[in-house]
Chain A
């Protein structure tokens, strides 16, 4: 959707993902969009070099967020928020309705539970 403007589908995927979830790392973005990890890593790196994103290490993962010091961050986020409303409903729901609350270690994944077992 924004690919003609951003020049890359993977740049759009990375930005839309971070806009929807507030943060993201290369592997989860690539898995979400079922695309090549290297392509996403390359775009995240370019966006960081350009000052649009910043990253920090969390364990062995490099987590990216919008750079609050980027002078156009508010306008960019507004554009991405609008673009997201044009995405298919399933994609929007999957992007925004992911579980964020904690889940105690050792409990089975919700996705693996059968009806009535929760």
Chain B
């Protein structure tokens, strides 16, 4: 097994994911690190957000993480040999008002990893743009959508449910600008 100090972000996520699965703890990768995954590392985040989809108690998570050398610092876990930060946002796994149903499982050198789909990653990033006007969220959504085939009609349907038709239009405009480059 590759030493933790040499694990890239997603390799570390897979290592933690598999270890937790062995302990009966279900987590799914979401957040900024999924943008790295779907954008072929064009965007890099130090955070690893593993959504605690089965609502495992924090004490059980703490014990499981401690057994592979991670210590809890506030709301995060960190390993002494890694710069990455692992967080367990509480479930449910959702994008806006809708639950996430499509979870992909990928195999990496350090283990398997369950990840939200590219379309849900786009929606997840758009949430930040829609609710907080976060321009980075918009850029990241465009980056993922440009690097992966996502169903724009589905993103539009979801955006209308979230009552953000105007901001969806901005997203689509940014996408088209990218295509025309």
- Footprint of B on A, CB under 8 Å? 49-51, 68-69, 71, 74
In the bound complex, how far is the Cα of B120 from the Cα of A71, in angstroms? Answer: 14
Chain B residues closer than 8 Å to A50, beta-carbon distance: 90
In the bound complex, how far is the Cα of B40 from the Cα of A10, in angstroms? Answer: 46
The answer to whether A49 and B75 have CB atoms under 8 Å apart is: yes
Chain B residues closer than 8 Å to A68, beta-carbon distance: 127, 131-132
B39 shortest CB reach to chain A, Å: 21
Which of A49, A51, A74 is in CB contact (< 8 Å) with B97? A74
19 contacts between A and B (CB under 8 A): A49-B75, A49-B90, A50-B90, A51-B89, A51-B90, A68-B127, A68-B131, A68-B132, A69-B94, A69-B96, A69-B127, A69-B131, A71-B92, A71-B94, A71-B96, A71-B97, A71-B98, A71-B99, A74-B97
Q: Across the interface, name the chain B residue whose C-beta is closest to A67.
A: B131
Chain B residues closer than 8 Å to A49, beta-carbon distance: 75, 90
Q: Across the interface, name the chain A residue whose C-beta is closest to B94.
A: A71
Chain A residues closer than 8 Å to B90, beta-carbon distance: 49-51
In the bound complex, how far is the Cα of B129 from the Cα of A68, in angstroms? Answer: 12
Pick the most buried of A49, A69, A74: most chain B CB atoms within 10 A of its CB.
Answer: A69
Q: Across the interface, name the chain A residue whose C-beta is closest to B93.
A: A71
Chain B residues closer than 8 Å to A51, beta-carbon distance: 89-90
Chain A residues closer than 8 Å to B96, beta-carbon distance: 69, 71
Q: Across the interface, name the chain A residue whose C-beta is closest to B128.
A: A69
B172 shortest CB reach to chain A, Å: 21
Chain A residues closer than 8 Å to B94, beta-carbon distance: 69, 71
Q: Across the interface, name the chain A residue whose C-beta is closest to B100.
A: A71
A11 shortest CB reach to chain B, Å: 15
Chain B residues closer than 8 Å to A69, beta-carbon distance: 94, 96, 127, 131
Chain A residues closer than 8 Å to B132, beta-carbon distance: 68
